[in-house]
Every structure is written in C-alpha cells, then in structure tokens.
Structure 1
Amino acid sequence: MRFCLLVMAKSPVPGQVKTRLCPPLSPEEAADVAAASLLDTLDAALNTPGAVPVVALAGVVRREDVRDALAECVVIPQRGASFAERLVHAHADIARFRMPVLQIGMDTPQVTPDLLASCASFGSFGEAALGLAVDGGWWALGLRDPLRAGVLRDVPMSRADTGARTLEALHGMEVRMLPVLSDVDTVADARAVAAQVPGSRFAAALLDVVAVAR
C-alpha cells in the first residue's frame, strides 16, 4: 500500500537549528550535525517501500548535499506561526495525494526503511498511529486521513507532556502505538543515537565535532 511519508524539516542554517546543542557545539557544528541527521532521514525515507517522500521545509537550503537529496522528494513550504499550526497545514497540504500519511521529523536519524514501512502498515490498524519519544514528545504520527491532523492545533509542542497531550487529542480514533525512540535535542541524546547507528552520516558528523570530545 502506498502512503505519504511526510518529513518536517528545517534548513540546517547555523544559529537556526539544533541550538540546544550549543554549547558545547558551535552554531556551525550544530548545523553540520543537523544536516547529517536530515540526510540520514531522507535516505531512509527514499528507500522505504511504498513511500512517497514529501518534505515540509522551513528556511532556505544553502548546502548542496541537502539540495541534492531534496531534489528526489516532493518539497512543500511550511506554513503557520506555531509548530502545531505548521503540522496541521503540512498534513492539509498533502491531503491532495489521497493517501494515508506517516509523519516524522529530522531528529531521529536512526530510523530505517524497514521501521518506517512497519510503522506505516495502515492495513493493520484503524485511523491513527503514534510513536512516543523518550523525552515525552513524539517522533511519528500516522493518519489514515491527513486532514484529521487538525486535532494538533491546540496541542502544546516541545513539552514533556506533548506525547500524552497528542494521544488525548486523538481520542475517538483507533490508535496504534509505535516503538518509542529517542530524538536528538541535547548532546547526550546525540551521543546515544549515534551509538545506535555507528556507520551513519550522523555518527560521523558527531565524531568530527571536536567540542563533543572535550
């Protein structure tokens, strides 16, 4: 079954991404780590069976390697003042594909095509799927009808209870719970995730950051 694999992404511009890694990382180092995370995520998305990769992008892409990867995806602009609004609008924008959607971010570079395909097994669950994150948020949201993401509009994002509040917002839908993953917000998160995928761009980028080793 074909589905839309929606990636919410921010252009890896120094000072605008992964600011919680600074310090110990510099803004430039944090942007390099973010770019590696995005590239690993896009690799997984592009190799996921049945997936139509769509990237909802914020910012202007300045890196050639990121531009090349995005050229293989459908790219739409993010719209809205808050992250919750941008999520709602992105899901509404891809509703035209008339497919179920699995939405992820660029902060879980450890995802694999097999994992994403499994999470998007829409034939095995009802209306929604939710993958909680270790920090209390969530890393993946599946919806049979993308327009039902409208329930996210009033969910506070980037909080320790965002995952629980999102699950509450999905009340009334049959929700399949997905594996819990750690996303990358802090240097400790980055080290833990890199250890899971030692051969990845993300792990290599982290090893190249001198500040992390101090």
Structure 2
Amino acid sequence: MSAAAVGRAPGTTLIILAKAPVPGRVKTRLTPPYTPQEAARIAEASLADTLDAALATPVGRRVLVLDGEPGPWLPPGIEVLPQCAGGLDERIAAAFAACSGPALLIGMDTPQVSPALLAPALADPRPGEAWFGPAEDGGFWALGLTDPDPALLLGVPMSVAETGRVQRQRLSDAGLAVRELAWLRDVDTAGDARLVAELAPHGRFARALDVSHPGRPGRPAASRPAAIGASAARTTRPSPIPHAPNAQPMAVGPTPNAQPVAVGPTPNAQPVAVGPTPNAQPVAVEAAPNEEPLAPAPIAGHPAPGAVSAQGEPLTPGPRAW
C-alpha cells in the first residue's frame, strides 16, 4: 500500500517501545529451545522489521523509547529516548507524556506489523478518540491516543491475561470512543515465533528464526518441504471392469478343425527292468519267546472245530447267520 493510500498524519508521533537485544535480557521465554544468543538475534530481527515498518509509515515523528543502548541495527530517521524506570504501565505512560499531540504506540514483539495495519489509527485523528490493537494473548500490541494522558495507563496490570480487557475498560471509563485495530499475535514463545514467521516469511525475523534453528519449532512453513497429501500416499486400487450392455454369453464347445493328438511311445525309449535289489538280504521273522499260537475263537452259536457232544459224537457246525 502506498503512502498516499495509507494517509498522512503529519502531527502524529509513532512510538516504538523496545528493549536493546542483549543476550540474557531480551526474549528470555524463547530459551529453550533457543540459546540466549539466538534469542537476542531473533529479538534484533524483530525490532529491525518493526523499525522498517515505522519508516514506511507516513507520520510526523518516529521515536524509539529504548531500554538499553542503540546498536548498528538502528536505522537513520528514528529518534531515541531512554525508557524511565518502573513497571511497564509507568514506562508506557512516560512515553506518551513525552509527546505533544496524537500518538500511536507499538512494541517490538509484532514483526509482522505493516503501514497498512497502522493506517486506520493515523488516517484522521479526532479528539476524544482512542485506538486499541488487541493481542491474541490477552494484551494489546498498539495503543493510539489523540490526547495522550498518562493517567489512562497508570495502574493497569501488564503482561497478564486480562491486560487488554482492563486497559480497554479504562479508556471507555474515561469517555473515549474506542476504535479497534486488527488482532495480532505477540512473539513470546517459540510457538508464537513460528506462527508469526509464517505470516511474514520474507522478513528479517523469519530468516533469523530459520538460521538459529533450522527444522526446530519456529521455522517458517515456506522453508520446509511440503508434506505428501493423504491422497498421494494412499494405495491405488484397480478399477472394476464394467459390465458391457447387451453382452451375450459365450458358448464353450470344441474348437473347429481341431486335430486329435496321438499319444504313442516315446522314440528310442528304453524299457526299465525291475529285478531284485543287489545284495539284498532276506529278513527272518521269528516268533517271540514263550509265545503261544493263537487258536481261532469260537463263533457264538457254533461249535468249535473238533468239539464232541456229551455222547462222544462229533459236532458239525451249522450255517452262519450274517
């Protein structure tokens, strides 16, 4: 979006509240999986992307309210003011107090910010109006005040789940018409970093994330190989053969002009003689010791062979009944 499309706010101050990217003092919730040095490099990249967006946004003044010392990451065209001591609510209130006229404050935790996202709060500042940029973690990523008043910030609990709700209620209770900017995700954890990098894959932040830990949580999706879809991985089944309409059954019969095949002896085949096995020894079968020959058992109703009657007459067996 061009500067003309965004709209000009020559009297508006754009405040960037930030912390110098020093290892161990910044983005500590990224450790682990990142080392303090890697977390500092990621924070520096996030701040650099934010400052680039600030430079591309047409405002009257750009002020970096910094906790720490500026480094080579600071581009020209940005004023630097030191942060005051105290809690986050006090530091934000002091940053607004340093401005005369309308001011819009953002942080360094939303490297996906752009002039287009800031445009609604800068297009036409009106008295009695406030702009509120809600963050997905319950806080806020942007706050715009036409008439900056530190009392609107002091005492608001910061960095907790209800920060955004309490701050917005404070604005409403002061009689301000609260306008809302787009919802954005702050970078607090490695999971946040990955999701934000996917939204802005070509910025310094996404590159720093990828260089710090390729393949670990936080790597932008654009630099990872695409997964094979379920349809490609699925085994293909053969298509069934459709039934042809009006198909006629096929009769199976003898093949026309088929010639019978004569089966005869194999030419030059030699007969195989079957004879006794050479050197085979006969096997003698002997009766077991003390084994008595078995006499045939008599059949019921018939005399045994050699049986005689009581008068001494031989008994003749009769016919068997089967």
Unmatched segments (≥5 aa) in structure 2: 1-8, 218-322
Correspondence 1:87 to 2:89: no
Provide the residue aligned with 1:46 in structure 2. 55
- Between the aligned partners of 1:45 and 1:28, the Cα distance in structure 2 is 26
What SS is found at the alignment partner of 2:98? helix
Correspondence 1:105 to 2:107: yes
Work out the percentage of aligned pairs sharing the same amino acid: 48
- Between the aligned partners of 2:129 and 2:121, the Cα distance in structure 1 is 13
Amino acid at match of 1:87: I
Query: Which one of 174, 196, 203 corresponds to residue 206 of structure 2?
Result: 203
Change (3 A) 1:173 1:197: same
Change (3 A) 1:73 1:135: same
| 1:124 Cα deviation after fit | 6.6
Is the radius of gyration larger for structure 1 or structure 2? 2
How high is the TM-score relative to the length of structure 2? 0.61
What SS is found at the alignment partner of 1:8? strand
Amino acid at match of 1:153: L
Change (3 A) 1:212 1:94: farther
Provide the residue aligned with 2:151 in structure 1. 150
Provide the residue aligned with 2:23 in structure 1. 14
- Per-residue CA distance 1:17-69 (angstroms, 9 max, x = gap): 000000010000000000000000000001102342111000123x42x13x2
Amino acid at match of 1:191: R
What SS is found at the alignment partner of 2:97? helix
- Per-residue CA distance 1:99-152 (angstroms, 9 max, x = gap): 311100000000111221223233478421101100000000000012x23221
Provide the residue aligned with 1:176 in structure 2. 179
What SS is found at the alignment partner of 2:47? helix
User: Greater relative contact order: 1 or 2 (C-alpha under 8 angstroms, separation 6 or more)?
Assistant: 1
- Between the aligned partners of 1:142 and 1:154, the Cα distance in structure 2 is 18
Change (3 A) 1:24 1:149: same
- Between the aligned partners of 1:42 and 1:188, the Cα distance in structure 2 is 23
Provide the alpha-carbon RMSD of the alignment: 1.6
Contact kept? 2:13, 2:61, Cα under 8 Å = yes
Aligned length: 206
Question: Per residue, is there more strand in 1 or in 2?
Answer: 1
Change (3 A) 1:94 1:199: same
Correspondence 1:58 to 2:67: yes
Change (3 A) 1:20 1:211: farther
| 1:177 Cα deviation after fit | 1.2
Name the stretch that deviates more: 137-146 or 167-176.
Answer: 167-176
Provide the residue aligned with 2:42 in structure 1. 33
Contact kept? 1:206, 1:212, Cα under 8 Å = no
- Between the aligned partners of 1:123 and 1:130, the Cα distance in structure 2 is 13
Question: Per residue, is there more helix in 1 or in 2?
Answer: 1
